[in-house]
Amino acid sequence: MSASVAPPLPGRHSYKVEGTNINFAHGTTCLAFRCNGFAIAAADSRSTQGETIASQAVTKLIKINDYIISTMAGSAADCQYWSRYVGSESQLFELRNKRRMTVAGASKFYSNILIQYKGRDLSVGSMIVGYDDFGADLFYIDNDGQRVRGDIFACGSGSTFALSVLDQEFRPDLTEDEAVELARKSIYHATHRDSGTGGQINVIVINEKGTNWVVKQDNFELFHKYINDPSPYPLQ
């Protein structure tokens, strides 16, 4: 890990503490997608420091407000702190303007903060999922200042596994139940194959009624449901 680190730039040195959850983009799976009338956000719950599992029960789906969720990949502290900050600003916005902040607005606000800190080693890769006056909406933002609207996103080390399951069955006209099952299955397969992903599988549905935490299941419970392996042990 330390071998490939570039020498610090003169003047703008920022110190790193080993054992901090910096760059655990390499150990997570988050996905979000948008169907007709609702959006889904799903994530695993493992946080790793190197190879050690720091926690198996982290909440990677952070509530910005009752209608907007941000998913967390990258440095845990950066995501938590700035989501909290955007959350409090969105509350103030609501008090000032007597209407809710839109998902586009919240993600733009978040993205603008990240642009301000560009080049200072913030590590954030986040999907902003929510429901507003214009329907369900979904953005991907990151610490480079990218902000992209889309229908399906996934990020983290297990995202390739999750996307390959998700892509196979995704349709925009999925019902809520189908979509939740698809999200759970996608995250499950990522937890199974990716060593940086694991713990519980969390799925949140966001629709006109707000956010609804529908799934919080342990990976262990789902093993026999999804993996049909007649001989799980190798032959010696």
Partner 1 sequence: MSNIMNHNGAAMLAMMGKECVTIGSDLTFNTGMQHQGRVFKVFPVTDKILLGLTGLFSDCQTFYQNVMYEVKLLQLKEGREIQPQHFGVLVAHMLYEKRFGPYFIEPLIAGLDEDNKPYIANTDTIGCLTEPDDFLVCGTAAEKILGPAESFWEEDLEAEELFEATAQALLAGIDRDSSSGWGSVVYTLTPQKMVTRFLRNRQD
Partner 2 sequence: MMMNQLVPHQDRNKEAKKNEWEPYIDNAGTCLGFTGEDYCVIAADTRCSNDSYQILSRHVTKITKVTDKIVLATGGMRADYCTLHKRINYQAEMFRYKNKKEISLSGCARLLSNILYNNRFFPIYAFCLLGGIDEIGQPVLYSYDAIGSYGKSKVGAVGSGGELVEPLLDSIILRHHRQASVVPTISNEELPTTRGEDGKPIIPKGIAIEYAHQALVAASERDIHTGDFAEIYVITKEGVERHMRELKAD
Cα atoms in the Cβ-side hemisphere of radius 13 Å centred on 138: 23
The item of partner 1, partner 2, none sharing an interface with residue 76, based on CB under 5 to 8 Å by kind, is: partner 2
**Among residues 4 and 228, whose Cβ is nearest to partner 2?**
4
The item of partner 2, partner 1, none sharing an interface with residue 157, based on CB under 5 to 8 Å by kind, is: partner 1
The item of partner 2, partner 1, none sharing an interface with residue 59, based on CB under 5 to 8 Å by kind, is: partner 2
Which residues, listed in sequence order, are joined to residue 140 by a DSSP beta bridge? 127, 148
Strand 147-149 relative to strand 135-142: parallel, antiparallel, unpaired? antiparallel
**Among residues 7 and 232, whose Cβ is nearest to partner 2?**
7
At residue 32, what are phi and psi to the nearest 5 degrees? -150, 140
- The greatest distance separating any two alpha carbons of the chain, rounded to the nearest whole angstrom, comes to 69
**Among residues 3 and 235, whose Cβ is nearest to partner 2?**
3
The item of partner 2, partner 1, none sharing an interface with residue 48, based on CB under 5 to 8 Å by kind, is: partner 1
Distance (Å) of CA 68 to CA 74, 136, 165 = 19, 10, 25
Of 232, 204, 210, nearest in space to 59 by CA: 204
Task: List all residues 6 or more positions away from 49 whose beta carbon is below 8 Å from its beta carbon.
Answer: 19, 20, 21, 24
**Could you say which DSSP state residue 23 is in?**
T
Q: How far is the CB of 172 from partner 1 (least distance, A)?
A: 30
Q: How far is the CB of 126 from partner 1 (least distance, A)?
A: 21
Q: How far is the CB of 56 from partner 1 (least distance, A)?
A: 8
Pick the catalytic residue from 28, 29, 48, 71: 28
Residue type, 72: M
Q: Which two tokens stand for residue 12?
A: 């703008």
**Among residues 15 and 134, whose Cβ is nearest to partner 2?**
15
**What does the binding site for partner 2 look like in residue numbers (CB under 8 A)?**
2-3, 5, 7, 14-17, 19-22, 49, 52, 54-55, 57-59, 75-81, 120-121
Of 22, 60, 25, nearest in space to 42 by CA: 60
**Among residues 18 and 133, whose Cβ is nearest to partner 2?**
18
Say whether 28 is catalytic.
yes
Q: How far is the CB of 161 from partner 1 (least distance, A)?
A: 9
Q: How far is the CB of 218 from partner 1 (least distance, A)?
A: 8
Separation between Cα atoms, residue 207 and residue 192, nearest integer Å: 29
The residues carrying an active-site annotation are 28
